[in-house]
């Protein structure tokens, strides 16, 4: 397994892809209903996903039963809801999302929003 992954090493896939952990990106869509792009890499418990949301694109409300997540906004401007709290995000903004917490993200800018999503699957025990 490589310890270095470059953007050209990972092929972005349209929304609809799913991971063994049950994480899905079928709701990553733009204003016209077109699927966004997500590039997946990871191990059995750790997943890193580079998401690209076009202007108006969003990921609809959802939660994960046994996954912790962190967002790190790389480019663009977004609105993130975690539970009942709503935040605006610009490049360099980070978020932590605990398991069983509903969350969503939306591109509120005029350029693509690029987000690094880091997920850790927790033990069932």
In angstroms, the Cα distances linking 35 to 4, 28, 71, 81, 91 are 28, 6, 20, 21, 23
Q: Given this model, what pLDDT does residue 123 score?
A: 75
Strands 103-107 and 94-97 come out as unpaired
Mean of the per-residue pLDDT values of the chain = 77
- In this prediction, residue 101 has a pLDDT band, given cuts at 50, 70 and 90, of very high
| Domain of residue 71, CATH code | 2.60.120.10
Q: What is the pLDDT of residues 29-52, one digit of tens each?
A: 555 555 566 666 667 788 888 888
Share above pLDDT 90 across residues of the chain, in percent, rounded to a whole number? 44
**Helices and strands of the chain, counted as H and E runs:** 0, 11
CA neighbor of 62 nearest in space, from 83, 79, 41: 83
What residues contact residue 16 under an 8 Å CB cut-off, 6+ apart?
A: 24, 25, 26, 35
Tell whether 3 is covered by a domain. Answer: no
Task: Please state the domain count of the chain.
Answer: 1
For residue 121, pLDDT over 80 is answered with yes
For residue 15, pLDDT over 90 is answered with no
Tell whether 31 is covered by a domain. Answer: yes
Tell whether 76 is covered by a domain. Answer: yes
Tell whether 5 is covered by a domain. Answer: no
């Amino acid at each position: 397994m490589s310890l270095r992954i470059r953007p050209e090493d990972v092929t972005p896939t349209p929304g609809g892809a799913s991971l063994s952990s049950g994480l899905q990106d079928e709701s990553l869509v733009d204003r016209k209903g077109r699927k966004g792009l997500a590039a997946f890499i990871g191990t059995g418990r750790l997943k890193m996903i580079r998401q690209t949301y076009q202007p108006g694109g969003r990921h609809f409300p959802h939660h994960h039963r046994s996954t912790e997540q962190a967002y790190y906004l790389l480019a663009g401007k977004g609105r993130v809801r975690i539970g009942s709290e709503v935040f605006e995000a610009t490049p360099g903004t980070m978020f932590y999302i605990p398991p069983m917490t509903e969350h969503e993200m939306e591109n509120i800018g005029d350029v693509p929003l690029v987000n690094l999503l880091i997920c850790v699957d927790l033990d069932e025990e």
